[in-house]
């Protein structure tokens, strides 16, 4: 299906130069002299690289239909991660190479979205914020009252991040999965 370049939106998946890409941001530019153009920042969904390019406004782009499957993380089996389809309860194994950095945020029962294109798994989309239990942290140092003092904490997935001094072992915290940073207490 073709789409006019003026109709694109953030998050849309397209075929550009034979590559499957997702639009991160776009901007219509009307310079004082010369024709208008569109500047698009997009991510190659196969390689993960981010590219910025400009295009004429009369260009037609091919829209790619990416399937989004609601799945739930079950467990790790060797070098594969096992997920269950929330619609038909079938199980799917996804290799470590596709899960990549998302592995540090996977906990049993976590609902995610698996993106597929023509039967090929492109990647996982995690919830923006997820609640985890702190399983290990250092004690606050008495007298350390500097602004925004932080310490290391390890969450139930084994991932270590910086948290405020008042967080203790056994507490539940909310972590932002985009950057792996502490967001708040649960």
Q: Are residues 74 and 104 in the same domain?
A: yes
Place of tokens 């996982």: 124
pTM flag (> 0.85): no
pLDDT at 146: 63
Higher pLDDT residue, 149 or 164? Answer: 164
**Total domain count for the chain?**
3
Q: Are residues 140 and 175 in the same domain?
A: yes
- Got the DSSP string for 125-186? E--SEEEEEEEEEPPPPTT---TT-EEEEEETTS-EEEEETT--TT-EEEEETTTTEEEEE-
- Check which CATH number belongs to the domain holding 95 and give it: 2.40.50.140
Domain end position, chosen among 43, 63, 83? 63
CA 51 to chain centre: 17
Mean pLDDT of 175-183: 91
Domain end position, chosen among 40, 63, 86? 63
Mean pLDDT of 60-85: 91
Domain end position, chosen among 90, 108, 125? 125
Q: Are residues 121 and 164 in the same domain?
A: no
Q: Are residues 15 and 32 in the same domain?
A: yes
Contacts for 64 with CB less than 8 Å, ≥ 6 apart: 13, 14, 15, 20, 117
Q: Are residues 18 and 38 in the same domain?
A: yes
Q: Are residues 73 and 109 in the same domain?
A: yes
- Check which CATH number belongs to the domain holding 57 and give it: 2.30.30.30
Closest CA to 114 of 24, 45, 16, 21: 45
Query: What gap in Å lies between CA 100 and CA 131, rounded to an integer?
Result: 20
Mean pLDDT of 124-144: 84
User: What average pLDDT is seen over the chain?
Assistant: 88
Q: Are residues 59 and 88 in the same domain?
A: no
Q: Are residues 133 and 118 in the same domain?
A: no
Contacts for 87 with CB less than 8 Å, ≥ 6 apart: 69, 70
Could you tell me what percent of the chain has a pLDDT over 70? 96
Label residue 1 by pLDDT band (50, 70, 90): confident
Greatest Cα-to-Cα distance within the chain, rounded to the nearest angstrom: 65
Q: Are residues 116 and 137 in the same domain?
A: no
Place of tokens 């592995």: 103
Domain span holding position 53: 2-63
């Amino acid at each position: 299906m073709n789409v006019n370049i003026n109709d694109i939106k953030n998050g849309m998946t397209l075929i550009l130069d034979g590559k499957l890409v997702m639009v991160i941001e776009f901007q219509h530019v009307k310079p004082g002299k010369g024709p208008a153009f569109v500047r698009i920042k997009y991510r190659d969904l196969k390689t993960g690289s981010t590219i910025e390019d400009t295009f004429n406004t009369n260009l037609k782009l091919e829209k790619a239909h990416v399937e989004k499957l609601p799945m739930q993380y079950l467990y790790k089996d060797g070098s594969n991660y096992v997920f269950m389809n929330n619609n038909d309860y079938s199980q799917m194994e996804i290799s470590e190479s596709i899960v990549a950095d998302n592995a540090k945020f996977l906990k049993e029962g976590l609902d995610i979205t698996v993106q597929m294109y023509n039967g090929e798994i492109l990647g996982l989309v995690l919830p923006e914020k997820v609640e985890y239990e702190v399983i290990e942290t250092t004690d606050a140092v008495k007298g350390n009252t500097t602004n925004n003092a932080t310490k290391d904490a390890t969450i139930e997935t084994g991932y270590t991040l910086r948290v405020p001094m008042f967080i203790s072992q056994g507490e539940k915290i909310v972590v932002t999965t985009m950057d792996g940073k502490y967001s708040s207490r649960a």
